[in-house]
Structure 1
Amino acid sequence: MKKLVLLLAFAFSIVACNNNSTTTKAKEIKTAYVDTSKLLEEYTEAKDIGEKYKAKSDVMGKELEAEVAKFKIEASSFQKNAQANGQAWAQENGSRLQKKEQELRYAQEGMVHQLQQESGVEMDSLVENVKKFIKTYGKEKGYDYIYGTGEAVSILYAKDQYDITKEIVKLLNEKYKSGDKKEAKK
């Protein structure tokens, strides 16, 4: 019986020592988080990409609007001619107008798809570069973990003191601006 009590006491002391070393390690872990939605809203390169594709969309949209305006004039003319020439004429010539309308719809869908694809490639590259930057930053600053919050939430709560979003945005913007100056010199 004495041996059993001694064995239990010994086992308890070992477990207690292990728990203390675990909590000591847990207190030494350095963590932070970045609000990824805010980062992308405030990061200059992300804004530039957004503006670039908005401008491109506007230019392509104006070209398409001109075609749509021509189509509307043609459709209006078709209606007048259909009233004057009768239903047989309208059925015979209406398919050409429907085909043109369908072509315009395809052109619009193609334009949207092209813009999404092009901007998606650039944004994917930007996100990958931001991840690499944060990884390097974390290693340099001695972080054990840097979490991401935003639309794809992986943290339900964190103290504001652990939010390093502003610092990351500032450093990324500085890096991006210095990159622009190098490219301008070339």
Structure 2
Amino acid sequence: MKKAILILGVALSILACNKNEGKSESLKTAYIDTAEILEKYEKFKAEDEKFKVKSQEMGRPLEAKVKAFQAEAQNFQQNAQVKGPQWAQQKGAELTQREQQLGMEQNALLQQLQQEGGVLRDSIIKEVKVFIKEYGKKKGYDYVYGTGDAATILYAKDAYNITDEVLKELNDNYKASDKKEEKTAVKK
């Protein structure tokens, strides 16, 4: 009796192992190179270009102030000997204060640009994640992994790489939505 139970137990465990193997083979998995997606996604490139233009526009007033300061500092060096040490000391203190003020303005501008850039990048990444989730569901994937900057895969066969497919569909969707926006802007 004990042998029969033991044989039955071994047979059940073998069957259970075979069922698990069958299930793991039927899983459909793929991976995406997330760094490549961000590098080649046309919407990200377009938004990045717009952000660079905005950054330059925001920086122009500060650049003008810096150039004026540099001209004034150069003028100070030329006039320091002519106007005497008391004038030089007073004017030097004023220039030092303005230099510190310009540095604070520059730091504030950089911080604002970093914050706005981060928000823009995060919104695009969130959009891409939602797209990949929907893409995975539509194509019947059980798992879609990510590689790139924050690698979660150390090795995978190239056959499982769907980066190009996802990138093509992302860019096609972006182009289609961009054309719709242009048409509505023309109608208005």
- In the TM superposition, what whole-angstrom CA distance separates every residue of 1:116-160 from its partner, at most 9, and x where no partner exists? 222221221111111111111111111000001110000000111
Q: Aligned-pair distance for 1:49?
A: 1.3
2-side partners of 1:98 and 1:121: how far apart?
Answer: 35
Please say if 1:10 is aligned against 2:39: no
% identity of equivalent residues: 48
**Correspondence for 1:71:** 69
2-side partners of 1:59 and 1:156: how far apart?
Answer: 42
Cα RMSD after superposing both structures = 1.4
Q: Aligned-pair distance for 1:89?
A: 2.6
**Correspondence for 2:178:** 180
Which of 35, 59, 62 pairs up with 1:61? Answer: 59
Q: TM-score, normalised by structure 2?
A: 0.92
Q: Aligned-pair distance for 1:173?
A: 0.6
- Aligned pairs, how many? 184
Q: Aligned-pair distance for 1:110?
A: 1.7
Residue identity in the other structure for 2:95: L
Please say if 1:27 is aligned against 2:25: yes
Which of 102, 119, 124 pairs up with 1:121? Answer: 119
Residue identity in the other structure for 2:10: F
What secondary structure sits across from 2:32 in the alignment?
Answer: strand
Q: Aligned-pair distance for 1:80?
A: 2.3
2-side partners of 1:109 and 1:22: how far apart?
Answer: 58
User: Which of 46-55 and 145-154 deviates more?
Assistant: 46-55
Runs of 4+ in 1 over 4 A off after TM superposition: none
Please say if 1:83 is aligned against 2:81: yes
Q: Aligned-pair distance for 1:58?
A: 2.6
Q: Aligned-pair distance for 1:103?
A: 1.6
Q: Which runs of 5+ in 2 are unaligned?
A: none
Q: Aligned-pair distance for 1:55?
A: 1.7
2-side partners of 1:74 and 1:44: how far apart?
Answer: 45
Q: TM-score, normalised by structure 1?
A: 0.92
